[in-house]
Amino acid sequence: MSSWWGNAWVASLEALSLDTGRLERGRRYADGGRVAAVNVAPGRILSYVQGSRPRPYRAELRLRTLSDSDWDRFLDAAAAKPGHIAALLDKDMPHSLVEAAADAGVALLPAPGDLVPSCSCPDSGRPCKHAAALCYETAALLDSDPFVLLLMRGRSERELLDELARRNAALSAREQPAATRTPGVPARQALAQRFLPPLPAPLAVGPHPGQPPAYPSAPGAPDPVALDQLATDAAVRAHTLLTTGSDPVGDLTAWQDAVRLAASGPTAGLTATTRTLYRDLAAATGRNPTELARAVAAWRQGGKEGLAVLESPWDPPAGPFDRARPALAAAGLPRFQPWRNQLTVPGGAHQLRFGKDHQWYAYESDPGRDDWWPRGTPHTDPVEALRGHSSGDGAHPR
């Protein structure tokens, strides 16, 4: 043990028994890591100790807790000297504090006979080697934190420090000359008086969000063009919030917002900057760049509803969906095969999807492949929805 109070604890243990062999075996058990996590509670220390049998033994030490009057005398003694509080905060228990408590009739450290050991093993020794191991392990805990001893005596660290701070403040107030005391003001009165002046009126909102600053490029730094896009988007959202009181993307999920952000970028091909943004946004949402690119196409086709049409098949009620196939046949188009809210030309390159907004969304794929991408503009008429994107397999009405 490195602290004097840890050594005092061990001395109390060793005064329990004249069997130095049991004590030595207990020390070896503690040093060998045979004592499981130690549970400390007021008046009791408990742990399981691995002995010679496969099943560990339940060892316990009991120690009398202090009464409320004992605690009052101890706290008064501790608060009387600021050095005592500072020492406790530094996880130290000075001799002077223990002596002051003793002078007030409070014994913090256990005297010979104060510790009451017990164990589930058949050994009738007092203590047995398992209880001795627990006691040595507890002494190691005390070395680093004397509040363990105070908890065993009945009070937690937080309780003690709060009460010491209160008593120390009260003691300081009593010792301060009345002429130098600052008169106090009740909190209710202070709040009612509203000492702070009113806040100035907010600045007028500009006509447009403004241009973000130029971001320098540096090795390992984020791409400046991508930063510019993110800053521009944030500025537009902030400006909209200030002028309208609502966030235009406030109800979007993280994935929907990532798609929206990617869709707001350039549309003329994937530049190096766009590829970087797609890669980062896809990684942040647990998707891959191809999934993000397909979702961006759906967003550009129909916004949030277009993305839902891409990702969430559903079963439409009878009505417009049932009337679509006769209308497509009347326009001279090939036969479309229905599945849930989708109409697909078997083996062809065209597909229509019916959205919950009662609009038709056109999709395109290479013939024979199940790789559908949004194309064109949605329309309430399925024939017009097909006319809204480029023809590829002759399936379009002319």
Residue 177: pLDDT above 70?
Answer: no
pLDDT at 341: 93
pLDDT in tens, 318-374: 888 989 999 988 888 888 999 999 999 888 889 999 999 999 999 998 887 888 999
Q: Strands, DSSP E only, in the chain?
A: 39-41, 44-49, 57-62, 116-119, 337-339, 342-344, 350-354, 360-364, 373-374
Give me the residues paired with residue 41 across strands.
Answer: 44
Bridge partners (DSSP) of residue 374 are 363
Task: Single out the residue of 392, 362, 398 nearest to residue 380, CA to CA.
Answer: 362
Q: What is the pLDDT of residue 308?
A: 93
Return the ∠ at Cα 270 (arms to 390 and 342), rounded to 5°: 40
Give residue-wise pLDDT tens across range 206-243.
777 776 666 666 666 666 666 777 777 777 777 777 77
Letter for the amino acid at 73? R
Check: CB of residue 336 under 8 Å from CB of residue 344.
yes
What span, in angstroms and rounded, lies between the C-alpha atoms of 105 and 248? 70
Domain boundaries, the chain: 4-173, 224-311, 320-387
**What confidence tens digit (pLDDT) does each residue in 359-391 have?**
999 999 888 788 899 998 999 999 999 887 544
Q: Give the tens place of pLDDT for each residue, 99-114.
A: 888 888 888 888 777 7
Looking at per-residue pLDDT, the higher value among 77 and 250 belongs to 77
- The predicted model gives 57-73 an average pLDDT of 90
Task: Point out which residues pair with 58 in neighbouring strands.
Answer: 48
Alpha-helix residue ranges (DSSP H) falling in 250-389 = 254-263, 272-284, 289-311, 320-330, 382-387
Q: Tell me the CA distances in angstroms from 13 to 23, 45, 154, 274, one per residue in order.
A: 9, 14, 20, 72
SS3 of residue 88 by DSSP:
helix
Q: Write out pLDDT tens, residues 108-141.
A: 888 777 788 899 999 887 788 999 899 889 888 8
For residue 296, pLDDT beyond 70: yes
Dihedral of CA atoms 177, 178, 179, 185 in degrees, nearest 10, equals 130
pLDDT band with cut points at 50, 70 and 90 for residue 268: very low
